Amino acid sequence: MLIFLTRHRVPAVSRLFGYYLGCDIGLALPRTVFLPHPMGIVIHSGTQIGDNVVIGHQVTLGGRDFTNAAPQVEDGVYIGAGAKILGGVRIGRGATVGANAVITKDVPAGATVVGANRLLSNPSHYALD
C-alpha cells in the first residue's frame, strides 16, 4: 500500500498513511522495492533507487550537509534495519548494508558493509578508507 501511494501521489491519503507508519518517502519507489516492515523509513527526494532493493525499518537515505546530494542505490542492494546512508554516496549493485550501519562513503558492488563504513567483504578489493 505504501509503495502504491508513493508511486501515485495521492496527497491526503499518502500523508496520512506515512504519518501512521512514521515514514517520510520523498520519491516514487520502483515497483520491485521491498519494504518488509515499513516503519520509520526516511528517504530524501533526490535519492535514486534501483530495482530489487530491500529496505529494512528505521532506514534513512538522506543528505549529510546543506547540499542537495542524496544517495544512489543500485539494483539488488539489501539495506538492513536502522542503517543510515548519508550524502551523495553510491551503493553498488548487489551490496549489503548491515543493520545500524552508517555509510558516508561509496560502497563497491557486491561488498558487505557494517558499522561506520567498515567493509567486511569486497570482491574487488577496494577499500573504503
> Global pTM?
0.84
Residue 93: what residue type? Answer: R
| CATH fold for the domain made of 30-117 | UDP N-Acetylglucosamine Acyltransferase; domain 1 (2.160.10)
90 strand-pairing partners: 72
Where residue 2 falls among pLDDT bands split at 50, 70, 90?
Answer: low
Contacts of residue 74, defined as CB under 8 A and 6 or more positions apart, other chains included, come to 50, 90, 91, 92, 93, 94, 95, 109
Domain-wise residue ranges, the chain: 30-117
* Longest CA–CA separation in the chain, Å: 48
Residues composing the chain: 129
Identify the pLDDT of residue 11.
65
More confident residue, 63 or 2: 63
pLDDT in tens, 48-66: 999 999 999 999 999 988 8
Q: Work out the average pLDDT over 8-24.
A: 75
